[in-house]
Amino acid sequence: MPAPAETKTEKRFDEKLLDIYNGAATTLMIAVGHRTKLFDKMAEIGAASSEELAKAATLNERYVREWLNAMTVSGIVNFDVQNQKYSLPPEHAYLLIRKSGKDNLAVFAQYVSVMAGVEDEIIECFHKGGGVPYSSYNRFHEVMAEDSGQSLVPALLETVLPLVDGLVEKLEQGIDVMDIGCGRGLALMRMAKAFPKSRFVGYDLCDDTVAFATQEAKARGLSNLSFEVRDVSALGDAEKFDFITAFDAIHDQAQPQTVLNNISKALKSTGTFLMQDIDASSKVENNLDHPLGPFLYAVSCMHCMTVSLSQNGEGLGTMWGRETAKTYLERAGFKKVEIQKLTHDIQNCIYVATK
Ligand SMILES: C[S@@+](CC[C@H](N)C(=O)[O-])C[C@H]1O[C@@H](n2cnc3c(N)ncnc32)[C@H](O)[C@@H]1O
SS (H, E, C) the chain: CCCCCCCHHHHHHHHHHHHHHHHHHHHHHHHHHHHCCHHHHHHHHCCECHHHHHHHHCCCHHHHHHHHHHHHHCCCCEEECCCCEEECCHHHHCCCCHHHHHHCCHHHHHHHHHHHCCHHHHHHHHHHCCCCCHHHCCCHHHHHHHHHHHHCHHHHHHHHHHHCCCHHHHHHHCCEEEEECCCCCHHHHHHHHHCCCCEEEEEECCHHHHHHHHHHHHHCCCCCEEEEECCHHHCCCCCCEEEEEEECCCCCCCCHHHHHHHHHHHEEEEEEEEEEEECCCCCHHHCCCCCCHHHHHHHHHHHHHHHHHCCCCCCCCCCCHHHHHHHHHHHCCCCEEEEECCCCCCCEEEEEEEC
Whether residue 1 is contained in a domain is answered as no
Residue 171 Cβ < 6 Å to ligand 1: no
For residue 109, being part of any structural domain is answered with: no
Determine the distance separating the centroid of ligand 1 and the alpha carbon of 69, expressed in angstroms.
Answer: 38
Query: Which one of 51, 77, 104 terminates a domain?
Result: 104
178 CA → ligand 1 middle, Å: 13
Q: Are residues 125 and 215 in the same domain?
A: yes
Tell me the CA–centroid distance for residue 252 and ligand 1, in Å: 8
62 and 144 co-located in one domain: no
The reply to whether 59 falls in a domain is yes
Query: Who contacts 294 (Cβ-Cβ below 8 Å, separation ≥6)?
Result: none
Distance 175 CA to ligand 1 centre (A): 23
CB of 182 closer than 6 angstroms to any ligand 1 atom:
yes
Q: Using a 6 Å cutoff on CB, does residue 142 contact ligand 1?
A: no
Same domain for 184 and 272, yes or no, is yes
Whole-number Å distance, alpha carbon 121 to ligand 1 midpoint, is 21
Assigned domain for 229 exists? yes
The alpha carbon of 148 and the centre of ligand 1 are apart by a number of angstroms equal to 12
Whether 153 is in a domain gets the answer yes
Tell me: do 61 and 172 sit in the same domain: no
Contacts of 93 (CB under 8 A, 6+ apart): 39, 42, 43
3 assigned to some structural domain: no
242 lines ligand 1 (CB under 6 A): no
| Pocket lining: 329 vs ligand 1, CB cutoff 6 Å | no
Ligand 1 geometric centre to CA of 79 (Å) = 43
Report if residue 128 sits inside a domain.
Answer: yes
One domain for residues 98 and 119:
no
- Ligand 1 centroid, distance to 206 Cα (angstroms): 8
203 shares its domain with 290: yes
With a 6 Å cutoff on the Cβ, whether 181 touches ligand 1 is yes
Same domain, 25 and 149: no
**Residue at 72 is within a domain:** yes
What is the domain-level CATH number for residue 14? 1.10.10.10
* 207 & 312 share domain: yes
pLDDT < 70 positions in the chain: 1-11
Examine the domain organization and report whether 86 and 118 are in the same domain. no
**Are residue 135 and residue 44 in the same domain, yes or no?**
no
Same domain, yes or no: 64 and 123: no
Cβ of 248 below 6 Å from ligand 1? yes
Write down the pLDDT at residue 11: 63
Strand pairing category for 199-204 and 176-180: parallel
Q: Which atom of ligand 1 approaches the CA of 181 most closely?
A: 12
**Cβ-Cβ contacts under 8 Å for 108 (sequence gap 6 or more):** 147, 295
For ligand 1, is residue 317 a contact (CB within 6 Å)?
A: no
Domain count, the chain: 2
CATH code: domain of residue 213: 3.40.50.150
| Residue 276 alpha carbon, nearest atom of ligand 1 | 8
Choosing from 146, 190, 210, 248 the residue with most ligand 1 atoms within 8 A of its CB, the one to mutate for a pocket test is 248
Asked whether 206 lines ligand 1 (CB < 6 A), one says yes
Q: Which residue lies with its CA nearest to atom 16 of ligand 1?
A: 253
Cα of 261 to ligand 1 centre, how many Å?
17
Does residue 94 share a domain with residue 133? no
Asked if residue 67 has its Cβ within 6 Å of ligand 1, the reply is no
Q: Which of 53, 71, 104 is the last residue of a domain?
A: 104
233 within 8 A of 262, measured Cβ to Cβ: yes
- Residue ending a domain, among 104, 124, 143, is 104
Parent domain of 185 = 114-354
